[in-house]
Structure 1
Amino acid sequence: MSGGRDDLCFLAMGFALSLALLPLLSAVDPGSLQDFCVAVEDPNNSVFVNGNLCKDPNRVTADDFFLSGLDQPGNTSNPVGSKVTLINADRIPGLNTLGISLARVDYVPNGGLNPPHYHPRATEVFLALEGKFYAGFVASNPDRLISKILNPGDVFVFPAGRIHFQYNIGSTAGRAVSGLSSQNPGIVVVANSVFGSGIDPSVLARAFQVDRELVEQLRKKF
């Protein structure tokens, strides 16, 4: 893995990419920042979710717009061999209302996978820094895979709401930076959601046209 100066340059490039996602006339999320918001009449039984409260401008400091440590690799010792480190308004308060976030992704050699998933509220611009990636997304109408082999310095775009993935097919550790067009992009990992959410096995067996026993085996993994 390259040294500190190169890391900072690459991360700066990634952040510049994420800035390029901002609309010219509006720099805020155009829609909801959560999956749903159930109405309540009792203000004591409510919670403010869609964004964050704003700090008094007179108390704002440079630290509200600053974060260090993104040069450190994430822990990839997990079944898929990857780690996403998301930088959003929870990590940098100054990002609140700016409609943008950033992620560093680390992958183990020879098979590190950011598994099929999608962001319900964000388009993603992916910048490969180290490794060699097989990456793609599934388009609709008709459903088809749009994929590419990516080398260091290559950029690929994953449109909002499209299932996508990155798979490190290189023999060295992989590293990438992504810019996302929402301060709260959300993530739905397909396998986790399908097999780990509690959907009745009979539904899944019929949907995937497989035996219920196989569905039960898959559910145990999630």
Structure 2
Amino acid sequence: MHYRPTIGLEIHAELKTRTKMFCGSANDPDETRPNVNVCPICLAHPGTLPVINREAVRHILRIGEAVGGARADFTEFDRKSYFYPDIPKGYQISQYEHPLIIGGTLAGVALTRVHLEEDTARSIHSGGKSLVDFNRAGIPLMELVTEPVIRDAETAGRFARELQLLLRTLGASEANLEKGEMRIEANISVSHQLGLNQSEGLVGRTRSSDERVLGTKVEVKNLNS
């Protein structure tokens, strides 16, 4: 019996913009003082309303053009509910049903979508206590999702390096893994291929050698850490 992995990647990258995704606070990843680049909008004060960052949208459209994706005729943002200290609103503004870019290919890997969302704050754990720095909250994030068509770790690594190069070439992101500016998550399923006339307990039918039964999917996070 032979086993083969099926891998799909979800990659986030912090975009290079002057301001955050939905407010006028500075997007400065090099700021070391905590809670300096904040405002009532990114701190989720009651009554505040978001305004979309045009520069971030342009970055996504350029990325979509580079990978040969289709621009959406209609796009919208959704609320993705979380209950974490680093998400002040209690939800993340993201895209689901109507992303900005659909499809495309990069390094021979088919893409599902490219969309915009906002980053979370940064949690700092020290001395048995947890502190939250909201400088990162609301920074524009690109999320790129591949189809589950990658078959080995070498191809996955090659794809990530090619995307990193593309983001830097377009000026969309510095994409430094060590700074968390590009984060890679892998969805992995290991399947077994059955030989000819091996039913594996399936009544009334057999499976050919090219048919596969997908195993349980697991998500591996923070591959850059």
Q: Same fold (TM over 0.5)?
A: no
Q: Which has the higher helix share?
A: 1
- Give the structure, 1 or 2, with the largest relative contact order (CA under 8 Å, sep 6 or more): 2
Could you say which structure has the larger radius of gyration? 2
TM-score by length of 2: 0.28
